[in-house]
Amino acid sequence: MQLSNSEEQLMEHLWKLEKAFMKDLLEAYPEPKPATTTVATLLKRMIDKKFVAYNEFGNSREYYPLVEKTVYFSKHVNGLISSFFNNSASQFASFFTKGTNLSASELEELRKIIDSEIQKKKK
């Protein structure tokens, strides 16, 4: 299941806050802030999709994410690789390194990350 752009934006705030009441979520938005009803509708859809849950405290609800950010984005990246790169991580890596404006130092940092993961997999 996937989130819309508006839901992803709200989810970003929730991941950052970890737990939040409606007022906390509204405060997290930059100006112009969305209407309370808009955020409530987004939260309802995200609850239905099993991305968010809540605890009730009287008339208030404290919302929290059910899906970790890394898990969500990992599924997105794997979907991209599958859909656009013939399920080939090396084609994706080639595009990512050639088709973006990464500096030499950023490419070096990527190399270190990849080398570290290779070492872990060999053990």
Is the pLDDT reported for residue 1 higher than 80? Answer: no
User: For position 64, what pLDDT does the model report?
Assistant: 98
Q: What is the pLDDT of residues 62-112, one digit of tens each?
A: 999 999 999 998 888 888 888 888 888 888 888 878 888 888 898 889 889
Q: Which of 38, 65, 92 is the last residue of a domain?
A: 65
- pLDDT per residue over 15-68, tens digit each? 999 999 999 999 999 999 999 999 999 999 999 999 999 999 999 999 999 999
Confidence at residue 37, expressed as pLDDT on a 0 to 100 scale: 96
Same domain, 40 and 87: no
Look at the chain and count its residues: 123
- Nearest Cα to 63, choosing from 73, 71, 54? 54
Identify whether residues 40 and 78 lie together within a single domain.
no
- Tally Cβ neighbours within 10 Å of residue 91: 13
Same domain, 60 and 76: no
* The token pair that represents 74 in the structure block: 């990992």
pTM of the complete model: 0.74
Q: Which domain holds residue 95?
A: 69-122
- Predicted confidence at residue 9, as pLDDT, reads 95
The predicted pLDDT at position 88 comes to 86
Same domain assignment for residues 51 and 98 = no
Q: What three-state secondary structure class fits 106?
A: helix
Residue 91: predicted pLDDT: 86
Number of domains in the chain: 2
